[in-house]
Amino acid sequence: MLRSDVSNGRAPVREHDPAPHDPLPAPDWGEMLQLLSPDGTRHPDPVYDPWVEDVDDDALLALYEDMVVSRRFDVEAVALQRQGQLGLWPPLLGQEAAQIGSARTLRPDDFVFTSYRENGVAYCRGASPVDLVRVWRGNALAGWDPRAIGMATPQVMIGAQTLHATGYALGCVRDGVDSVAVAYFGDGATSKGDVHEAMVFAATFAAPVVFFCQNNQWAISEPVGLQAHRPLADRAPGYGIPSVRVDGNDVLAVMAATRVALDRARRGEGPTFVEAVTYRMGPHTTSDDPTRYADPEVRAQWAAKDPIVRVEQHLHARGALSEERTQEVKEKAEAFAMQMREATYGMTAPEPLTVFDHVLVEPSAELERQRSQYAAYLAMFGGEG
C-alpha cells in the first residue's frame, strides 16, 4: 500500500502537462486511502484496518471531541483577531482530521516540528489556551517550552522544520530510543530546498522521522498545481522514502497511515512520507482574502467532505453518539474557547527591557551596554527603566 517505487500508485498520465504558468487549481490526482467516506460509511481495508482495530466507540468519540474543540478554539481565535485582540491567526478550519488523527497517534516522547497552522496538533500535545495565543498577540516568539510538550516552536520559515525533525530523529537513534520525530508541513513547503535536503538526509541515514504533509491545496494564493505536477506523495519514492496518500479529512485513515509510518520509524526502517489531502477552508491567515483567488464552488465541494460531519454521522450510525455526549463535547469546546478568550484579555504586555533577554546564554558586554543605555533613556520619562 505504501508507494515504495514510482511505478506504484502513479497518478494517471495526462495527455499533456500544463505549462508552469497554468497550474491546476484542484487537480484530481487519483487514489487515496479512505476508511470513512464523507457520508460516514466505513470502508473495509484489509491493509489498514488492523492499524485502527483498537479504535472503539470511546476512542472515536475522543477523536471527535478533539476535532470539535480544535474547530471551536480556531473560530474563537479568528474572532479575537477580528476584535483586535490578536495580531494575526492562521486558521486550521477543514484540517481538523489531518491534525488530530496524526497527533493522537503520537507518544509523549515523540517530538513534533510543525509550521504555524498546527494548532490542533499543539492542542493534542498539551498546549494550554494561553499557550496558543501568546505568539499571535505579539507577546512572545514562542507559546510554550518545547521540551515540556514535545513540540518545537511553530516554524514560520516554510519547510525549515523538516530538517530539524530529521536532525532530532538522528539524535534519537544515537540515544538508543525508539522515539520518532514528526515534521508537519504543507504543499507549498514541498517546493523548498530544505524539504528536499531533509528527505535526502533522512533517507541516507534511515532517520526515524515522519514527513507529514498536509496538502491543503493552497500556499496563500498559489494552488498546489503551481508546486507540483504529480501527487506530492510521488516525490518521496525518488528519495527511497515510501509514501502514502491519504484522505486528510478522514480521521481514521489519517490515524492508520500515521501509525504505519510511526511503526516503520520505531522499527528502524527509516522515514515515511504521508500526504494528507485536505482543503484549507479558511484564509491563509486573517490577513488574507481568498475571494481574490479561490473558487467558491470548489470550496463548497470540500465543505461536503467535512472531517467532523463524517465522524458524527459514523458515530450516529454506530449508535455511539448520544444527545448528552454531543452536549458534553460542545460544552468542553465552549469552555476551552472561553479560556482562550479570557487568557487573551488577561495577558499583559512584556516589560520593555525584556527585549534584551536571551540573545546569548551569557549576555555580551555590548548588549548589556545597550540595555543600560535604553534603561536610562526610559528613566528620563519617569518610567521604571
Partner 1 sequence: MATTTMAAALGSGLRRALEDDPRVVLLGEDIGRLGGVFRVTDGLQRDFGLDRVMDTPLAEAGIMGVAVGLAYRGFRPVVEIQFDGFVYPALDQMVTQVGRLHYRTGGTVRMPITIRIPYGGGIGAVEHHSESPEAYFAHTPGLRVVTCASPQDAHTMIRQAIACDDPVVFFEPKRRYWTKGDVDDVALDDALPLDRARVVVEGTDVTLVAYGPLVVTARDAALAAADDGVSVEVVDLRSLSPLDLSTVEQSVRKTGRLVVTHEAQRSGGLGAEIAAGITERCFPVLSAAPVRVTGFDTPYPPAKLEEHFLPDLDRLLDAVDQVLGRQHSLTGWSA
Using CB under 8 A as the criterion, which residues of the chain lie in contact with partner 1 when the complex forms? 111, 113, 140-142, 145-147, 152-153, 157, 160, 162-175, 181, 193-194, 197-198, 200-201, 204-205, 357-362, 364-367
Residue with smaller CB distance to partner 1, 197 or 334: 197
Question: Which neighbouring-strand residues pair with 186?
Answer: 214
Active site residue 125: no
SS3 of 276, please?
Answer: strand
Q: How far is the CB of 274 from partner 1 (least distance, A)?
A: 19
Residue with smaller CB distance to partner 1, 157 or 304: 157
Active site residue 245: no
Q: Which helix (H) or strand (E) holds 273?
A: strand 272-277
Residue with smaller CB distance to partner 1, 47 or 148: 148
Choice among 3, 164, 245, 284 that is catalytic: 284
Residue with the three cell numbers 516540528: 113
Q: Are 173 and 207 in contact (CB under 8 A)?
A: yes
CA distance linking residue 51 with residue 256, whole number of Å: 5
- Which cell numbers hold the place of 76? 474563537
Q: SS3 for 181-245, per residue?
A: EEEEEECHHHHCHHHHHHHHHHHHCCCCEEEEEEECCEECCEEHHHCCCCCHHHHHHHHCCCEEE
- Which cell numbers hold the place of 127? 498546549
Q: How far is the CB of 209 from partner 1 (least distance, A)?
A: 9
Choice among 280, 310, 314, 341 that is catalytic: 280
Q: How far is the CB of 197 from partner 1 (least distance, A)?
A: 3
SS3 of 151, please?
Answer: strand
* Inter-CA distances, 187 with 216, 249, 278, Å: 7, 15, 10
Q: Are 89 and 82 in contact (CB under 8 A)?
A: no
Q: How far is the CB of 139 from partner 1 (least distance, A)?
A: 11
Q: Which long-range contacts (CB under 8 A, 24 or more apart) does 138-147 make?
A: 138/87, 139/347, 139/349, 139/350, 140/350
Residue with smaller CB distance to partner 1, 135 or 329: 135
Q: How far is the CB of 135 from partner 1 (least distance, A)?
A: 10
Residue with smaller CB distance to partner 1, 40 or 116: 116
Q: How far is the CB of 166 from partner 1 (least distance, A)?
A: 6
SS3 of 36, please?
Answer: strand
Choice among 293, 316, 369, 377 that is catalytic: 293
CA distance linking residue 118 with residue 111, whole number of Å: 14
Residue with smaller CB distance to partner 1, 133 or 255: 133
Q: How far is the CB of 193 from partner 1 (least distance, A)?
A: 6
Active site residue 123: no
Residue with smaller CB distance to partner 1, 37 or 205: 205
Q: Beta 218-219 vs 222-223: how paired, if at all?
A: antiparallel
Catalytic residue numbers read 280, 284, 293
